[in-house]
């Protein structure tokens, strides 16, 4: 390769070797670590594109982090980042990897062998994390191993130009084509240098290798994306035709949705793309309809297994409107949503398969290993409980549990709404603690009565005078009979309720109030149809769901 260097006029006093101090050598070493990590991750993702996306070390390590994260931190992440909690986690994991990589690069400068050891250690962590995942077969370690190998090669290649003995840098000058000595000196000044310890920095070599490493990482990453697409089930889902249910959802009364007339109220139905999402899955499980099986084990007449066609083909499918709620929802929070679900009636299905009278708990298992323990009694007796296959007129969205999930009205999702459901084990509460219960959450999770102010938004300023205060309230299976609003220290005033659709749905409410200019405190409380007035006693979401009244400050001007 010929390199022509336009030598600028020599700077007086500038000697070859300047700018190659220890500081810049360390910076390049750290950069070498980062680039090696990029190569490692690219290679790992590429192999994960063959083995399966859940075997990616970033996913596996992030997943292990979720499993090991204390509940208070998980609760914080869910309530702070909401559906973006996984994005935050992956970003956090990548940041830790980056810091680790910087350290490995610096370590590698001192001893390349130690650097390689650092990478091997990281690959080992990734491999163990991937192997211990529920979907992790023996191949799950491959991406981490391949990533570590590629990362080690990249690190050594990148460190070489930074750790050459000084004499070798001089080689090209002696053996290379004859040239203008001054130019060669300049080149060495710009592209290479010798530090005090007599180690040469071959900058040109380093940046060339860096370019190659970066390119390799990018190509591997791009290839990984393409390969990992093969696992997506979006197309197979699109090809499914949702069956027509035998029993349709009851018709909605006129004016059922206040959102049509009042700005800012949560719509009666939550669109699938807006529906809150809470789960521990970093990569959304992709279950092919043809591969799907639902197996019944434990206290049933006999162990049985059903295909998706078995469930889609049933003659007793029901369509129902149900509001789902998360136990992690804070007072005033948005972890609740309403959809029109289609599914197999759960009680009938369980009876038909002879669920044992001694069973108190159904341990529902997701393909990603999540376990959700639902009370057998509720599964049998709560009207409209179902194995859901449809959501708002479509097959279940992949993030919401495609192809089958459970829904039991009146119970928080963590004890009822298992997504990507693949096994139901009829057992007892004594015999098994499901995932969240093992982490201290209550074993039974009835949804607490709640009311939320949707509009005005907290701390909002608006013109003094008449203004709608509105929102939603829920007490699934019981229904809402009353919502009252209090402004400052005034009396509790009855809000107007939207027509009742079903006890399993939230109910919108509105109160038009005359706000005098100034700051105001607005509170809301709901009463269920069986007479429970929402308590003012505050409780955190952990361990059994939040209680307390939603109160906001507003500013009328």
Ligand X SMILES: Nc1nc2c(c(=O)[nH]1)N[C@H]1C(S)=C(S)[C@@H](COP(=O)(O)O)O[C@H]1N2
Which residues of this chain interact with ligand X, rule CB under 6 A?
275-280, 324, 326, 366, 368, 370, 372, 400, 413-414, 417-420
Instruction: State which residue has the least CB distance to Mo ion.
Output: 326
> Closest distance between ligand X and the C-beta of residue 75, in Å?
11
Phi/psi at 62 (nearest 5 deg)? Answer: -60, -40
Instruction: State which residue has the least CB distance to ligand X.
Output: 413
Phi/psi at 308 (nearest 5 deg)? Answer: -65, -35
Q: Which does 419 bind (CB under 5 to 8 A by kind): Mo ion, ligand X, none?
A: ligand X
Residue 321 and residue 442 in contact, taking contact as beta carbons nearer than 8 Å: no
Can you say how many angstroms the Cα of residue 546 is from the centroid of all Cα atoms in its chain?
22
> Closest distance between ligand X and the C-beta of residue 328, in Å?
7
Long-range Cβ contact pairs of 96-102 (< 8 A, separation 24 or more): 97/37, 97/41, 97/58, 97/122, 98/34, 98/37, 100/37, 101/33, 101/34, 101/36, 101/37, 102/30, 102/33, 102/34
The residue among 149 and 442 lying less far from ligand X, judged by its C-beta, is: 442
The residue among 118 and 413 lying less far from Mo ion, judged by its C-beta, is: 413
Phi/psi at 356 (nearest 5 deg)? Answer: -70, 145
> Closest distance between ligand X and the C-beta of residue 152, in Å?
36
Q: Which does 366 bind (CB under 5 to 8 A by kind): Mo ion, ligand X, none?
A: ligand X
The residues binding Mo ion (CB under 5 A) are 278, 326-327, 413-414
The residue among 201 and 326 lying less far from ligand X, judged by its C-beta, is: 326
> Closest distance between ligand X and the C-beta of residue 447, in Å?
10
The residue among 194 and 336 lying less far from ligand X, judged by its C-beta, is: 336
Query: How far is residue 210's CA from residue 189's CA, in Å, rounded to a whole number?
Result: 20
The residue among 319 and 368 lying less far from ligand X, judged by its C-beta, is: 368
What does the angle CA 86 – CA 89 – CA 91 come to, to the nearest 5 degrees? 110
The residue among 331 and 554 lying less far from ligand X, judged by its C-beta, is: 331
Dihedral over alpha carbons 343, 345, 350, 352 (to 10 degrees): -110
> Closest distance between ligand X and the C-beta of residue 240, in Å?
18
The residue among 44 and 434 lying less far from ligand X, judged by its C-beta, is: 434
Q: Which does 276 bind (CB under 5 to 8 A by kind): Mo ion, ligand X, none?
A: ligand X
> Closest distance between Mo ion and the C-beta of residue 415, in Å?
9
Residue in the structure block whose two tokens are 């699109």: 238
> Helix or strand or coil: residue 118?
helix
Q: Which does 122 bind (CB under 5 to 8 A by kind): Mo ion, ligand X, none?
A: none
Kindly give the pairing relationship between strand 361-366 and strand 304-307: unpaired
Q: Which does 420 bind (CB under 5 to 8 A by kind): ligand X, Mo ion, none?
A: ligand X
Q: Which does 279 bind (CB under 5 to 8 A by kind): Mo ion, ligand X, none?
A: ligand X
Residue 527 and residue 482 in contact, taking contact as beta carbons nearer than 8 Å: yes
The residue among 415 and 449 lying less far from Mo ion, judged by its C-beta, is: 415
Neighbours of 362 (CB within 10 A): 30
Q: Which does 245 bind (CB under 5 to 8 A by kind): Mo ion, ligand X, none?
A: none
Q: Token digits for 366?
A: 């997701």
SS3 per residue for 377-391: HHHHHCCCCEEEEEE
Query: How far is residue 54's CA from residue 283's CA, in Å, rounded to a whole number?
Result: 7
Sign of the dihedral defined by the CA atoms of residues 313, 316, 319, 323, in that order = negative
Q: Which does 280 bind (CB under 5 to 8 A by kind): Mo ion, ligand X, none?
A: ligand X
Query: How far is residue 436's CA from residue 74's CA, in Å, rounded to a whole number?
Result: 11
The residue among 419 and 549 lying less far from ligand X, judged by its C-beta, is: 419
Query: How far is residue 80's CA from residue 77's CA, in Å, rounded to a whole number?
Result: 5
Nearest one of 215, 211, 46 to 143, comparing CA atoms: 46
The residue among 280 and 378 lying less far from ligand X, judged by its C-beta, is: 280
> Closest distance between ligand X and the C-beta of residue 438, in Å?
13
> Closest distance between Mo ion and the C-beta of residue 83, in Å?
12
> Closest distance between ligand X and the C-beta of residue 88, in Å?
16
> Closest distance between ligand X and the C-beta of residue 421, in Å?
8
The residue among 199 and 338 lying less far from Mo ion, judged by its C-beta, is: 338
The residue among 262 and 322 lying less far from ligand X, judged by its C-beta, is: 322
> Helix or strand or coil: residue 1?
coil
> Closest distance between ligand X and the C-beta of residue 413, in Å?
3
> Closest distance between ligand X and the C-beta of residue 367, in Å?
8
Query: How far is residue 209's CA from residue 548's CA, in Å, rounded to a whole number?
Result: 61
Q: Residue 101: in which H helix or E strand, if any?
A: helix 85-110
What does the angle CA 410 – CA 282 – CA 81 come to, to the nearest 5 degrees? 65
Those residues with Cβ within 8 angstroms of residue 179's Cβ, 6 or more apart along the chain or in another chain: none
Nearest one of 436, 337, 472 to 75, comparing CA atoms: 436
């Amino acid at each position: 390769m010929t390199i022509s260097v336009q030598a600028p006029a020599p700077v007086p006093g500038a000697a070859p070797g300047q700018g190659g101090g220890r500081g810049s050598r360390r910076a390049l070493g750290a950069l070498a670590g980062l680039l090696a990590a990029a190569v490692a991750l690219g290679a790992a993702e590429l192999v994960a594109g063959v083995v399966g996306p859940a075997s990616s070390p970033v996913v596996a390590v992030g997943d292990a982090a979720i499993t090991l994260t204390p509940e208070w931190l998980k609760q914080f992440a869910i309530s702070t980042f909401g559906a973006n909690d996984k994005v935050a986690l992956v970003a956090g994991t990548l940041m830790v990897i980056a810091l680790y990589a910087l350290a490995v690069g610096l370590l590698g400068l001192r001893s390349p062998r130690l650097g390689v050891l650092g990478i091997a250690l990281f690959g080992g962590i990734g491999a163990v994390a991937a192997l211990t995942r529920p979907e992790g077969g023996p191949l799950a370690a491959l991406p981490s191993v391949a990533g570590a190998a590629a990362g080690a090669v990249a690190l050594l290649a990148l460190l070489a130009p930074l750790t050459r003995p000084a004499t070798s840098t001089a080689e090209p000058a002696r053996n290379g084509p004859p040239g203008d000595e001054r130019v060669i000196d300049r080149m060495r000044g710009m592209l290479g240098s010798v530090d005090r310890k007599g180690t040469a920095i071959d900058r040109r070599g380093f940046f060339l290798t860096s370019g190659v490493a970066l390119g390799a990482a990018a190509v591997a990453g791009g290839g990984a994306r393409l390969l990992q697409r093969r696992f997506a089930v979006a197309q197979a889902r699109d090809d499914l035709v949702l069956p027509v249910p035998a029993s349709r959802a009851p018709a909605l009364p006129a004016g059922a949705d206040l959102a049509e007339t009042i700005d800012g109220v949560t719509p009666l139905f939550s669109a699938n793309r807006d529906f809150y999402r809470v789960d521990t899955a970093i990569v959304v499980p992709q279950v092919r309809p043809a591969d799907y099986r639902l197996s019944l084990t434990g206290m049933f007449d006999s162990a049985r297994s059903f295909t998706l066609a078995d469930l889609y083909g049933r003659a007793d499918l029901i369509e129902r409107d149900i509001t789902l709620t998360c136990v992690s929802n804070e007072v005033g929070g948005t972890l609740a949503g309403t959809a029109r679900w289609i599914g197999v009636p759960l009680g009938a299905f369980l009876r038909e398969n002879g669920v044992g009278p001694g069973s108190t708990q159904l341990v529902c298992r997701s393909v990603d290993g999540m376990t959700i323990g639902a009370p057998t009694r509720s599964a049998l007796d709560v009207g409209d409980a179902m194995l859901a296959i449809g959501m708002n007129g479509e097959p279940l969205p992949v993030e919401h549990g495609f192809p089958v999930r459970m829904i039991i009205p009146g119970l928080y999702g963590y004890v009822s709404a298992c997504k990507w459901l693949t096994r139901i084990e009829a057992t007892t509460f004594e015999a098994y603690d499901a995932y969240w219960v093992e982490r201290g959450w209550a074993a039974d999770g009835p949804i607490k009565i709640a009311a939320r102010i949707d509009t005005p938004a907290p701390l909002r300023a608006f013109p003094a005078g008449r203004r709608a205060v509105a929102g939603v309230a829920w007490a699934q299976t019981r229904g809402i009979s009353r919502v009252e609003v209090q402004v400052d220290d005034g009396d509790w005033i009855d809000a107007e309720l939207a027509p009742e659709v079903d006890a399993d749905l939230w109910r919108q409410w509105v109160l038009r109030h005359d706000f005098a200019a100034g700051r105001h405190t607005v509170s809301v409380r709901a009463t269920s149809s069986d007479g429970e007035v929402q308590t003012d006693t505050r409780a955190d979401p952990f361990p059994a769901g939040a209680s307390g009244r939603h109160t906001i400050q507003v500013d009328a001007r």
